Structures are given as structure tokens and as C-alpha cells.
Structure 1
């Protein structure tokens, strides 16, 4: 697997300095390069629809909540700040993908719902996104997927004890 240029340079420096565990460093850089490539490809897939990853996440959450969600609930579920959600919702509203409604019983509270256009967009993009994700792991057998899951979890546990 090709490393991003910056990781190639760092790996060469690590080799020249004879740092310990060059193979561990290479694995880390491979993981980072793969994650960056997945992020770029995801952004490329979403761009023709006028979506960022953040907007996509909100569409996904709202599609699963036909009665709508409060902005605070969206922020919590998406793992972002309320200010970030407000900006994302502003963009989705400009594209007529969502509507803001007063919550029943409390006109000060908002409920966010997908418009018909938003529902159609969600259906189209989710189908495309699901096929893309399936293609990423499509050539892995079930045992390979289980092994990859276990290995990633093992590395993630190492992060819990490591100082940043």
C-alpha cells in the first residue's frame, strides 16, 4: 500500500535515525494513509450532492427520526457542538432538504425534519454510500473481517494506555 508523501518522508527519517520498531511506524502510517484516502473518497462521493460528511450524518439521523429531532439531540447524536449543528442545518435548509418547525407544546423549541426533497436525497445517497462501503470490504471473507475487527480493537486498546 502506498503511503502518503508526508508519511514516506517521515518513515525515511525514522529509518535513517534507526528508531525502534520501524515496522510499527510503517503500520501506523499505513493506517493513517488508508483513513485519509477513505475520507477523500467519501468527500468525493458526497460532493456532487452538495453534502459534506457532517451534512450526510445529519441527513442519516433525521431520516431515522420521522417525527424530527431537536437541534440539541442532533448535536449529541452526531458528536458535535450545537453551533456546528446550527451551521450544518442552515446549509441543509438553504438547499431545501430540511425544515425547522416549532415543537408541539413549546413554540420556543425546534424540531428538525427532512423535506420530501431531503428524504429523496437521503434515500439516493444512502444507497450509493452503502454500496461504496460494501465495496471497500467486499473482498474480505467473514473470518478476515472478524480478524480485522479484532486487530483494530487490539490497537485501539493500546491507545487507552498511551500518552498522547
Structure 2
């Protein structure tokens, strides 16, 4: 696997300094390089549809809620701020993928729903995106899937432990 240039430089410097656990440092940099490559591919796949990852997430959430959702609910479910959701919704509305309207129960509140164009875009992109994600891990056996998931959980547990220790 190709490491990004910045990680190659850091790895070379770590080796020069004879830091312990060079193999662990390399694994970390491989993981970061892979995550960045996945992000870049994801962005490239979404761009022809006029979508960013944030817009894609909102379409996904709205597609699952035919009655629509309030912007604050979208923000909470997407894990972003209300201000971020407002910007994302503005873009989706300019592209005629969503519509905002007054909530029938509380006219002071807004409800966001997909337009027919938004629903069609969502279905097309979800299908393409699902195939792409499945393809990333498609050559792993079921056992390898389980092993990778276990290893990722172990590393995540180490991260949680180190974060707790550094904040103590």
C-alpha cells in the first residue's frame, strides 16, 4: 500500500530517530492513508451528482423519513451543528433536491422533505454508493471481515484508553 508523502517522511524520520514500535507507526500511517484514499474516492463519486458527503448524509436521512424531519433533528442525526445543516440544506434546496415547509403540527417549526428529484437522486446515489462500499471489502472472506472488525475495535479501544489517560 502506498503511504501518502507526509507519512513516508514522518516514518523515515521516526526510523532515523530509532523510535520504538516503527511497525505500529507504519500501521497507523497505512490506516490514515487508506482512510484518506477512501474519502477522496467517495468525494469523486458524489461530485457528479452535486453532492458532498454532508449533503449525501442528509439525503440518506431524509429518504428514510418520508414525512420529513426538522432541521435540528437532521443536525442531531447527522452529528453536525445546526449552522452546518442550514448551509447544507441551502445547497440542497438550490439544487431542488429538498423543500422546506411549515410543520403541520407547529407552524413555527420547519419540516424538510425530499422533492421528487431529490428522491430520485437519493435512490440513484445510494445504489451506486452501496455497490462502491461493498466493493471496497468485497474480496475479504467472512472470516477476514470478522478479523478486521475485531482488530479495528481493539485499536479503537486503545484510542479510548489513551484519550481517557491523557485527560486525567
- TM over 0.5: same fold? yes
Secondary structure of 2:65's partner? coil
Alpha-carbon distance in 2 for matches of 1:156, 1:78: 21
What's 1:31 paired with? Answer: 31
Residue in 2 that maps onto 1:129: 129
What is the match of residue 138 of structure 1? 138
SS of residue in 2 equivalent to 1:107: coil
The Cα of 1:107 is off from its aligned counterpart by 1.0
- CA RMSD for the aligned pairs? 0.7
Find the counterpart in structure 2 of residue 13 from structure 1.
Answer: 13
| Structure 1, unpaired ranges of 5+ | none
Equivalence for 1:78? 78
In structure 1, C-alpha distance between the alignment counterparts of 2:44 and 2:21, rounded to whole Å = 35
Please report the TM-score for the alignment, with normalisation by the length of structure 1. Answer: 0.99
Could you list the runs of 4 or more consecutive aligned residues of structure 1 that deviate by over 6 angstroms after TM superposition? none
Structure 1 position 85, deviation (Å)? 0.1
Match of 1:153 in 2: 153
Shift of 1:105: 2.4
Is residue 2:109 matched to residue 1:104?
no
Q: Which residue of 2 aligns with 1:61?
A: 61
Question: Partner of 1:140: helix, strand, or coil?
Answer: coil
| Alpha-carbon separation, structure 1, partners of 2:105 and 2:56 | 29
In the other structure, the counterpart of 1:116 is: 116
Question: 1:94 maps to what in 2?
Answer: 94
Instruction: Give deviations 1:85-135, integer Å, cap 9, x for gaps.
Output: 000000000000000010012111001000000000000000000000011
Q: How far apart, in 1, do the equivalents of 2:102 and 2:124 lie?
A: 28
TM-score (norm. length: structure 2) = 0.96
* SS class of match (1:56): helix
SS in 2 for 1:47: helix
Q: Distance in 2 between matches of 1:130 and 1:157?
A: 28
